[in-house]
Structure 1
Amino acid sequence: MDLLDIRNLTIEMDGPHGRVRVLDKVSLQLKEGEVHSLVGESGSGKSLLAKAVIGVLNPLWDVTADRLWWNGKDLLAMTPKQRRAITGRDMAMIFQDPLAYLDPNATVAEQITEAIPAGDVTGTFLHRRVDRKTRVANLLHRVGIRDHDAIMQSYPYELSEGIAQKVSIAIAIAHRPKLLIADEPTTAMEPSTKEQIQRLLGKLAVSQNMSVLLITQDVASILPATQRVSLLYCGQMMEHGDTEKVLERPAHPYTDAMIKMSLQAHAELAPKSRLPSLPGAVPTLRHMPIGCRLGPRCPYAQKQCVKAPLVRHREAQSYYCHFPLNEPES
């Protein structure tokens, strides 16, 4: 059974020009202990999907799904109190701007201590105080911070961006969640810091048997430990499946374009050279194309693309395209 099972998730909102479908029948499954990367350009709906899972969407938005299950339980059928209980116990989320996420008025030690479940600390007052400090130090060690004494007494504004992100990860894993959602955790970081955070998330997934949903704009930023990857564009799922299969033989033109636009694919380019890119830009909510939303930008689009494509399967891949790439020869 999947830990997280999403089938045909749709999110609609009322705007000044009528109702807009922000997410259009998106499906995603996540197994226990799996690392899954969700890739897409800014505005594709990645963060909305994460917020729908956590349960922090605007209550005025209309959320429907054939299935939005957590460990076999229907999240949409739960009361807000039941959703908060599951989120607080089994899920955690880290964000792309750790300094905005951390409390500027509390030390690192105070913020991590607050995240440790009360039931984990027992004994006398003095024993609990020592135990909390030890647990905070252990959490900082687990995320790669060795000089824990200095960091514990620091305030967020005194930390570098990389250290602040490690602290936010320590807070997220303090209650040993089953699912960690990382919403573009390395955006705007320098390459060395980015690699540290990526390695850390991969190690945590393995060592704690924790599922990780990594949200990113860049195919090159997906974790080396990623088992499956999904490509989302403009609220529609383009392709998903086994990471190695999808990246080696992409079926959808959008997947192919995202791979070719990656810096990793052009490591030998001369400085200031132009990277290949899709023409045009992500459409606004007021001007969503009909059918396949990539159609106006797709180099392979034809008349049939004005109709939404049905899901098709190939080995360990699933994709939504009328004219897929890299089809096996018959």
Structure 2
Amino acid sequence: MNLLDIRNLSIVLKSATNPILAVDRVSLTMKEGEVRGLVGESGSGKSLLAQAIIGVLDEKWHVDADRFHWRGKDLMRLSVDERKAIISKDVAMIFQEPMACLDPTMTIGMQLTEAVDGEQLTGYFWQKNQQRKETAISLLHKVGIKQHKICLKKYPHQLNEALCQRVMIAMALAKRPILLIADEPTAAMESTNQGQIFRLLASLNQLKNMSILLISHDLENVTHWTNTITVMYSGQFVEAGTTKHIFEQPFHPYTRALVDSSPKSNSGLPAKSRLMALPGSIPILQHLPIGCRLGPRCPRAQQACVIAPKVTNYHGHQFSCHFSLKGSY
């Protein structure tokens, strides 16, 4: 049984004129213990999809899906409050900018002890403050922060970005989630700190059997840490499959372009040469192309692309393209 099973999820932005279909019938599944990458350029709808899963979108966004199951339970049949109660207990999310997510007026210790789930505490009420503190210290140790006495007394602005991200991970772990959504967890970090955060997430997956949805725009980096990958472009599903198959034999032109633009694929280029890249840029929400939204940039686009392609399943490898690269290998 899948942990998370979403079929044809759409997210509409309500506006005074015409509603905007920001995410168009995207499907996503997660198994227990799986590390899945969600990849695409900035503006492809990755973060929007993640926020729809945990239910933090405000009223201007309307979310609908043919299926939205969590551990076999149909969440679309529940009220918004019931859905949030289930998801908030089992799913945690790490956001892109840890400095912006932490409260600047509270110390790390105050915020971390507040995040500890009261259901985990036992004994009398006067013993629970000490239990919260001990749990907070244990969480900091789990994420690699050994000097807990110093860290607990600091305010967010007194820590560097890498430490703040570790604190955010500790706060997420305080809920003992089954699924952890990491939205660009290493954005704007140095490569050394990036490796530390990714290794930490990998250890959580291996030791706690925690499922992780790793959101990133860097396909090559994600391949080192994931089992499976889903690719999105401009709010539409592009391709999904095992990490090995996606990187070595992509069936969709957009995925092929992402692979070709990676430093590994361009290692043989002369110095100062331009990397391979698709022409143009991702469309804005106010001017979305009809049909396949990659059409204006796609080197294989033809007249049929004005109609959105259906998802094709080829031995577990899914892709959405009228003129795929399947026969090219």
TM-score interval, normalised by the smaller of the two chains: over 0.9
1:11-30 matches, cutoff 5 A: 11-30=11-30
Cα 1:241–1:115 change in 2 (3 A) is: same
Matches within 5 A, 1:120-139: 120-124=120-124, 127-139=127-139
Residue in 2 that maps onto 1:108: 108
Match of 2:213 in 1: 213
1:77-92 correspondence runs (5 A): 77-92=77-92
Residue 164 of structure 1, CA deviation: 0.5
**TM-score, structure 1 normalization:** 0.94
**What secondary structure does 1:163 align onto?**
helix
Q: Are the aligned partners of 2:198 and 2:225 in contact in 1 as well (CA < 8 Å)? A: no
Residues 1:46 and 2:46 aligned together: yes
Q: Give me the whole-angstrom Cα distance separating, in 2, the residues matched to 1:84 and 1:310.
A: 31
Q: Secondary structure at the match of 2:14?
A: strand
Residue deviations 1:152-176 (CA, integer Å, cap 9, x gap) = 1111111010010000000001110
| AA matched with 1:29 | T
3-state SS in 1 of match to 2:327: coil
Amino acid at match of 2:122: T
Decide whether the 8 Å contact of 1:90 with 1:179 is kept in 2: yes
Q: Is the partner of 1:15 in helix, strand or coil?
A: coil
Matches within 5 A, 1:66-81: 66-81=66-81
Deviates further, 308-317 or 124-133: 124-133
Whole-Å separation in 2 of the counterparts to 1:163 and 1:135:
18
Paired residues of 1:104 and 1:155 also in contact (CA < 8 A): yes
Which residue of structure 2 lines up, in the alignment, with residue 150 of structure 1? Answer: 150
Per-residue Cα deviation, 1:2-48 (whole angstroms, up to 9, x for no partner)? 11110011112233551221111100111111111100111111111
Asked whether 1:294 is paired with 2:294, we answer yes
TM-score, normalisation: structure 2 = 0.94
Cα separation, 2, equivalents of 1:16 and 1:278: 34
Q: SS at the partner of 1:327?
A: helix
CA distance in 2, matches of 1:14, 1:130: 47
Judged with a 3 Å threshold, the aligned counterparts in structure 2 of structure 1 residues 264 and 159 are, in CA distance, closer, same or farther, namely farther
- How many residue pairs get aligned? The number is 329
Q: Do the aligned partners of 1:10 and 1:23 also contact (CA within 8 Å) in 2?
A: yes
- Aligned-pair CA distance for 1:129: 3.6
Kindly state the Cα deviation for residue 126 of structure 1 after the two structures are TM-superposed.
Answer: 6.0
* Equivalent pair of 1:198/1:223 in contact (CA under 8 Å): no
Matches of 1:164 and 1:268 in 2, distance apart?
37
Deviation at 1:282, TM superposition (A): 0.7
- 1:91-110 per-position Cα deviation (integer Å, ceiling 9, x unaligned): 11111110000111111111
- Secondary structure in 2 matching 1:76: helix
The verdict on how the C-alpha distance between 1:127 and 1:270 changes in structure 2, with shifts beyond 3 A counting, is farther
Q: Provide, for residues 225-281 of structure 1, a one-character-per-residue CA deviation record: whole Å limited to 9, x for no partner.
A: 411100000111000011111111000011011112223433465664322111011
Change beyond 3 A, Cα 1:321–1:115:
same
Shift of 1:327: 2.2
Aligned Cα root-mean-square deviation (Å): 1.8
8 Å contact 1:292–1:309 — kept in the other structure? yes
1:270/1:150 CA distance change after superposition, 3 Å: farther
- What SS is found at the alignment partner of 2:5? strand
| Identity fraction in percent | 49
Secondary structure of the residue that 1:172 maps to in structure 2?
helix
Q: Which residue of 2 aligns with 1:162?
A: 162
SS at match of 1:247: helix
Q: Flag structure 2 segments of 5+ consecutive residues without an equivalent.
A: none
